[in-house]
Amino acid sequence: MNHTKKIRPEKVIQFGEGGFLRGFVDWILQITNEKTDFDASVVVVQPIKEGLCDKLAAQDCVYTHIARGMKDGVPIVDKKIIDVISRTVKPYDDYDSYLKLAENPDFRFVFSNTTESGIAYVAEDKLDDVPPKSFPAKVTALLHKRFTLGLDGFIFMPCELIEKNGETLKKIILQYADLWNLGDSFKAWVEEKNIFCNTLVDRIVTGYPKDEKIDLGYEDNMLNTSELFHLWVIEAPKSVLNEIPFDKTGLNIIITDNLDMYRTRKVRILNGAHTSMIPYAMLEGVETVKDCMEDKKMSEFVHKCVFDEIIPTLDLPKEELVDYAENVFERFNNPFIRHFCSSISLNSVSKFKVRVLPSLLEYIKRTGNMPENLIFSLAKLIEFYKNGTPTDDAEVCAFMKEKSVEEILANKAFWDTDLSFLKDEVKKYADK
């Protein structure tokens, strides 16, 4: 790769070097550098012992990112060389160089994606471990060193897919402060000198293209791919934009004081569309999400679910909801991604409870009518567990297969409520 890397001040610490952060956060920071005066580089910390940092460092932390998808009905391929990462640090190999990050007053932002299980408390972790095992314990050690140096704290924007990711990280850091007897003044400094933002990330990052040949004209072992769509909702004071001018990038980044409505929108529309159509699709032998979009019957069904029955139950402005839903269907039509129905069908009962059932019940509450398409999807869910190929907990599968529709709907352990009042409606669609 013939690329002259720009040298920028190190302002960002990033825990994680996998495809998602490189195809989302680093891609965003690259554009932020190009379009604003942010002028920052990233030091990547490898949060676990094994990882990709050596491979990344071998090409001077420069790699190509390719975003692909549909835009206004036209396939788009956007290629960008990412050179925002200055270097990597591996705490398991050189813990001193990790702790040394605390000494640089220019560091201001901490991004992370250490998987959903990464923001966890491990009671066995100690301050003098080299390094502590958990991600929050490693952060606590870094913060304590910074505190002892009398420096300012950080703005945390974790990308882990858990609710209240920023608040949870802060809570665990304060638990370690107690466990390690770091004192009230340190805890007050964590509270007052650091900002912990809850965030919601939305982009399918498909990583290194294993099963296809992309000819770049040069070798890139860290080539990364994603869909075109991206959304980052950050629950933070507006003042953070004075330090990281996301509002001047033209990117789909929302700074808000209430993340919940955006999370609800994503869960009900994007995830709800998936979950309402997948059992039906699998019973019909449809293989991928794109195949669903190309199947007239399936496509019309899921459009009715979303536009006629899910959107009327949500409280954001209608134009915003419709725009988001249209984006979702454009993403479903992405010719570059093979998203298999079978992989989405995992644990469909619990997914239905969280993603679809709230829309179904809210529709009845608001209109007094039955949402025919969502009821149909519930009937297909039951049929899928009886006659299809579900992947779920053995007890759930056995109950769904053996019990009657009435018993399934009355099972509060599945739905957190008794759905017996729906039995006549669901039975209308049984075996259809």
Q: What is the CATH number of the domain that holds 78?
A: 3.40.50.720
Using DSSP bridges, classify how beta strands 155-158 and 198-202 pair: parallel, antiparallel or unpaired.
Answer: unpaired
105 and 188 both lie in a single domain: yes
- CATH number at 360 reads 1.10.1040.10
pLDDT > 60? residue 400: yes
**Binning pLDDT at 50, 70 and 90, where does residue 369 land?**
very high
5 in any annotated domain: no
195 and 271 both lie in a single domain: no
Phi and psi at residue 92, to the nearest 5°: -75, -20
User: What's the pTM value of the predicted model, to 2 decimals?
Assistant: 0.87
pLDDT tens profile 8-44: 999 999 999 999 999 999 999 999 999 999 999 999 9
Q: Which of 239, 256, 273 is the last residue of a domain?
A: 256
212 and 293 both lie in a single domain: no
163 in any annotated domain: yes
Least confident of 146-155, 222-231, 298-307, 330-339: 330-339
pLDDT tens profile 328-342: 999 999 999 888 999
385 and 283 both lie in a single domain: yes
Q: Output DSSP code: residue 162.
A: S
**Binning pLDDT at 50, 70 and 90, where does residue 117 land?**
confident
243 and 351 both lie in a single domain: no
How far is it, in rounded angstroms, from Cα 262 to Cα 420?
A: 31
The total of other beta-carbon atoms located within 10 Å of residue 413's CB is: 9
Burial class (CB in 10 A: 0-12, 13-18, 19+), 307: middle
283 and 372 both lie in a single domain: yes
Domain limits at 383?
260-429
3 in any annotated domain: no
41 in any annotated domain: yes
Nearest to 360 by CA among 260, 272, 428, 298: 272
307 in any annotated domain: yes
Amino acid identity of 195? I
Q: Each residue of 315-352: b (16+ CB within 10 Å) or e? A: eeeeeebeebbebbbbbbbbebbebebeebbeebbebb
25 in any annotated domain: yes
**Number of domains the chain contains:** 2
173 and 153 both lie in a single domain: yes
176 and 228 both lie in a single domain: yes
Q: Which of 256, 271, 305 is the last residue of a domain?
A: 256
308 and 164 both lie in a single domain: no
1 in any annotated domain: no
pLDDT > 90? residue 118: no
Percent of the residues in the chain that have a pLDDT greater than 70, as a whole number: 99
Collapsing DSSP to helix, strand or coil, 116 comes out as: coil
197 in any annotated domain: yes
72 and 116 both lie in a single domain: yes
139 and 233 both lie in a single domain: yes
214 and 336 both lie in a single domain: no
**Binning pLDDT at 50, 70 and 90, where does residue 116 land?**
low
Q: Which of 222, 256, 290 is the last residue of a domain?
A: 256
